[in-house]
């Protein structure tokens, strides 16, 4: 398993290197074709000669971008949010949570009652088993109560 993971990582690394190399050569060819380096040098030379115009153009572009963003945000229709409506939608969830909590409370109460009934049956069984001479009725009662106790124990385990 480790060898497969190692091979997969190596293959991924090779693929990334190949892709990176191809991408670098593509960008290099594109920059040579469009003469990007010369254009950047020319723009930097113009910016050095005209610092006030460069600052004004930069600030103007930023202000224009800010104004455009404000206009777009103002004229974009947004749905009105009704806070009271959102609170009303929460009510069914609270009702569901309350019913779940009530169900849990009932279940805990029933488990407690089953445990108490099991303890009572165990005490009765112990007293019946201690009888030195048992009648047929005592034996059947022992079997009956033992089965009841078994059922309670299986219910409590689940």
The pLDDT tens digits along the chain (158 residues) read 778 888 888 888 889 999 988 999 999 998 889 999 999 999 999 999 999 999 999 999 999 999 999 999 998 887 776 666 666 677 788 888 999 999 999 999 999 999 999 999 999 999 988 988 889 998 999 999 999 999 999 988 87
Domain segments of the chain: what residues? Answer: 96-158
CA distances from 57 to 35, 63, 94 (A): 24, 10, 58
CA dihedral 15, 21, 22, 23 (to 10 degrees): 100
Alpha helices in 35-135 (DSSP H): 36-49, 51-75, 83-129
- What pLDDT was estimated at residue 49? 96
The pLDDT, as a whole number, for residue 84 is 62
**pLDDT of the residue at 158:** 79
Q: CA–CA separation, 55 vs 53, rounded Å? A: 5
Residue 83 CA to residue 88 CA, distance in Å, equals 9
Terminal-to-terminal C-alpha distance of the chain: 40
Coil vs helix vs strand at 25: helix
Task: Kindly state the tokens that stand for 145.
Answer: 């109560």
The torsion defined by the Cα of 138, 143, 148 and 150, in degrees rounded to 10, comes to: 140
Burial class of 148 by CB neighbour count within 10 A (0 to 12, 13 to 18, 19+) = middle
| Six-digit token string for 46 | 């113009």
Q: What is the structure's pLDDT at 122?
A: 92
What are 38's two structure tokens? 């010369």
Q: What pLDDT sits at residue 86?
A: 61
Position 82 scores a pLDDT of 63
| 3-class secondary-structure state, position 138 | helix
């Amino acid at each position: 398993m480790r060898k497969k993971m190692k091979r997969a990582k190596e293959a991924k690394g090779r693929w990334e290197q190949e892709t990176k190399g191809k991408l670098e050569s593509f960008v290099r060819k594109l920059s040579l074709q469009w003469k990007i380096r010369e254009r950047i040098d020319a723009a930097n030379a113009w910016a050095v000669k005209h610092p006030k115009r460069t600052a004004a153009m930069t600030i103007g572009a930023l202000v224009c971008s800010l104004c455009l963003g404000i206009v777009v945000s103002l004229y974009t229709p947004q749905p009105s949010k009704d806070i009271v409506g959102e609170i009303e939608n929460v009510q069914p969830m609270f009702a569901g949570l309350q019913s779940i909590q009530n169900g849990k409370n009932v279940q805990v109460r029933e488990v407690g009652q089953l445990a108490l009934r099991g303890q009572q049956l165990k005490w009765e069984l112990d007293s019946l088993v201690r009888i030195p001479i048992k009648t047929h009725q005592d034996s059947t009662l022992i079997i009956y109560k033992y089965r009841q106790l078994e059922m309670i124990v299986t219910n409590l385990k689940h």
